[in-house]
Amino acid sequence: MKYQVATFKIICNKQILQDAQDLIADAAGNSGFESFENTDDGLKAYGQKDLIDKEALNESIKNFLLKDADIQYTLEDVIDEDWNKTWEDEGFNPIIVDDDIIIYDAKHINRPHSWNNNHIEIGIDAIQAFGTGTHQTTRMIVSVLLHSSVRDKRILDCGCGTGILGITASKLGAKDIVGYDIDEWSVENARHNAEINHINNIEIYQGDAHVLNHICGVFDIVMANINRNILLQDMESFKSAIASNGTLILSGFYEEDIPILLDKAISLGFHETKRKFDKKWACLVLQA
């Protein structure tokens, strides 16, 4: 899968830099980008080349809400190697979700003896894949799973990234899990992370929502941590894959995106049961 990086330079008062970075990340996320890194004077956004909508991004920049900020950006191909290597080499600190789940960097950190044995432990070795628990959207879905009835359920993870959500579901007692991702790196990484966590009830496929046409049966819980536009595009596929009274968990979008996503969900027969927020990012829980 070919990746591109958009490097944004923001010329503005330092007092509004963070707001400008958040708004640009929102615009880039809605234009196909999936990973973001703040810089001293702007932002870098990474995305799969085939999914980036440059016209939509240019339109968003043209209509940028902060009039006191001047936005410039360049778009370049990323060298076809481990584009996330610097971040991966540095690793991440253990993340605790709701005092019950610990997500740790399997590449750099062994299990500390000080951890409570009652914690559910998930080791993630991220290689060019999204989903370590460091991002708000991942943590929110992990939290929703922790407080849901997952045991003995069949789970679908759409855009699985590192496989962290499917692994979480398995450790919470799910019967079996199916995941898919359009990125071949993510597919291999999810399989690798399932193996290092001793998970043997998860299947990972490469492709987009069309892979669901070749998977038998329906799912009790469908979860998708993907950008807003892909969620809108694929929600009908999610609906066809979910069991009667099943649960749909969505994240990967901002609070202001909720109305359009909710309108689409309601038109398909879903109704909202819960929503969560974390630093402008949102998570919706829906029932079929």
Q: Read off the pLDDT of residues 197-252 as tens digits, 9 standing for 90 and up.
A: 999 999 999 999 999 999 999 999 999 999 888 899 999 999 999 999 999 999 99
Residue 225's Cβ-side half-sphere holds a number of Cα atoms within 13 Å equal to 28
**In this predicted model, which residue has the larger pLDDT, 222 or 136?**
222
Which one, of 122, 108, 120, lies nearest residue 164 by Cα?
A: 122
Question: Vertex 250, ends 132 and 282: CA angle to 5°?
Answer: 80
Q: Is the pLDDT of residue 112 over 80?
A: no
Amino acid at 274: K
pLDDT bin (cut points 50, 70, 90) of residue 139 is very high
The predicted model gives 54-65 an average pLDDT of 85
Length of the chain measured in residues: 288
Query: CA–CA separation, 204 vs 179, rounded Å?
Result: 5
pLDDT band at 105 (very low <50, low <70, confident <90, very high): confident
Two tokens at 2? 């070919």
Which residue did the predictor score with more confidence, 27 or 93? Answer: 27
Helix (H) or strand (E) holding 232: helix 228-241
Percentage of the chain with pLDDT > 90?
A: 49
Percent of the chain with pLDDT over 70: 89
- Look at residue 88 and tell me whether its pLDDT is greater than 90: no
pLDDT reported for residue 247: 98
**Predicted local distance difference test score (pLDDT) of residue 45:** 87
228-240 in b/e burial notation, b at 16+ Cβ within 10 A? bbbbbebbebbbe
Band the pLDDT of 48: cuts 50, 70, 90: confident
User: Could you tell me if 261 and 231 are in contact, meaning their C-beta atoms sit under 8 angstroms apart?
Assistant: yes
Predicted structure pTM score: 0.75
Question: Which comes out higher in pLDDT, residue 112 or 30?
Answer: 30
At 176, the pLDDT band (50, 70, 90 cuts) reads: very high
**Confidence label for 89 from pLDDT (cuts 50, 70 and 90):** low
Please report where in the chains the tokens 């998570």 appear, as a residue.
Answer: 283
Residue 84, pLDDT > 80, answer: no
Q: How confident is the model at residue 85 (pLDDT cuts 50, 70, 90)?
A: low
Q: Which amino acid is at 78?
A: V
- At residue 91 the predicted structure's pLDDT band, cuts being 50, 70 and 90, is low
Residue 19 is predicted with a pLDDT of 86
Q: With 70 as the cut, is the pLDDT of residue 114 above it?
A: no
CB 174 within 8 A of CB 258: no
Residue 67's identity, in one-letter code, is K
Give the pLDDT confidence score for residue 169 in this predicted structure: 97
Per-residue pLDDT at 116: 59
Question: Which of 28, 24, 39 has its CA nearest to residue 71?
Answer: 24
